[in-house]
Amino acid sequence: MASFSIIGPGAIGTLVGAYLLESGQEVVFIGRRGGRAERLEREGIRVTGLRGEISRNARVVYDSKAGADADFVLVAVKSYDTAAVMAGFASVAWENARFVSLQNGIGNAETIARTVRPERVLIASLTFGAYIDEDGTVHHAGEGDALVGGLKESSFADAERLAGLFQRAGIAVRAEKDIRPVLYTKLAVNCAINPLTALLQVPNGMLQGSDSISAMMKDAVREVVRVADACNISLEFQHVLDIVREVAARTAANRSSMLKDVLEGRRTEIDAICGEVSRLGRENGIDTPVNTSLYRLVKALEETRSGRLARFPAKESGRSEP
Ligand code: KPL
């Protein structure tokens, strides 16, 4: 048996936590007072969807130190919260713990590695479709797979151990020596799916079947492949595009995390997704017009939230309002 601490009880963190608990692992959620963690502690974990129903009590702590002796600390907070969350661990010498970023976007593992030794940082790329409804139930809406690797290749043995534990929890996973191609492929998935679903306010599956959307998704993926190439990460365009389309089809019923953020009036992770592609493009002299435009449009969406007329129908349907 292994012990897991999960920071960030959102859809993915809670879903992975539930599957680990079901497989007999020890799981504790580290949360903030006043946040979703309190509800999780009060009402327990409820999961529904592809693998049936799960209902379990959740162990929640509100002090980082209380989860300090876990084998693995899964970091499932929004990318822009990583630095603040890790600051809470700065004074804790967690010699055993391996920190695993389960987050969207790039740059998160490097942020974690400013607090803990880089050899102890792992990255898991998950392509599940999951969201939390108004009642706090997590919906596993799309099957996905997972790949894990170390920020440093020397951490491969730890990645293999984590992969074994995930497999026992029914999560299809493989350990990779070099996780960077996987990370940039996931980046392409998020660049092509998340902003478009957030801007158009549609579930992932609705991206299929429109020529203009397909053209934008294709261009967004091509730019990620070019930027990756400039970073010495070799990706095959058609292969990555096929993966993007497959994820959109497999998670057709899912509302992307960015769409959920927009609907619930939260900041999105666009900076770590299209924003990073745009930044790396500028640094390497590569044009990224689609990712840069998607970045600006989603930023504009965040900035114009208070004047949006469409929020009135959203309120009628019972969604939480900013
Ligand atoms: O990662 C996702 C997200 O919503 O953030 C995908 C895989 C696109 C599933 O919705």
CA of 95 to the centre of ligand 1 (A): 32
Cβ atoms of residues 221 and 188 within 8 Å = yes
b/e burial code for range 24-38 (CB count within 10 A of at least 16 → b): ebebbbbbbeeebbe
Which residue CA neighbors atom 1 of ligand 1 most closely? 127
Among residues 68, 71, 85, the alpha carbon closest in space to that of 26 is found at 71
Quick: pLDDT tens for 98-154: 999 999 999 999 999 999 999 999 999 998 889 999 999 999 988 887 999 999 999
Residue carrying the six token digits 């007329």: 309
pLDDT at 319: 35
142-201 per-position pLDDT tens digit: 888 799 999 999 999 999 999 999 999 999 999 999 999 999 999 999 999 999 999 999
Residues with CB under 6 A from ligand 1: 104, 127, 129, 189-190, 193-194, 204, 247, 251, 254, 256-257
Nearest atom within ligand 1 for CA of residue 193: 8
The pLDDT of residue 93 is: 56
State what percent of residues in the chain have pLDDT above 90.
82
pLDDT for residue 94 is more than 70: no
Distance (Å, whole) CA 106 – CA 317: 34
Report pTM: 0.90
pLDDT at 275 > cutoff 60: yes
Listed in sequence order, the residues at least 6 apart from 209 whose beta carbon sits closer than 8 Å to its beta carbon are: none
**152 is a catalytic site residue:** no
- With a cut of 50, say whether residue 35 has pLDDT above it: yes
Atom 7 (ligand 1) nearest CA: 127
Mean pLDDT along residues 44-50: 95
Report the Cα–Cα distance between both ends of the chain, in Å, rounded.
42
Q: Is the pLDDT of residue 316 over 80?
A: no
The residue whose CB lies within 8 Å of the most ligand 1 atoms, and thus the one to mutate among 12, 187, 190, is 190
Q: Is the pLDDT of residue 74 over 90?
A: yes
| pLDDT tens-place string over residues 226-259 | 999 999 999 999 999 999 999 999 999 999 999 9
Is residue 85 predicted with pLDDT exceeding 80? yes
Give the CB-side neighbour count of residue 304, counting CA atoms within 13 A. Answer: 10
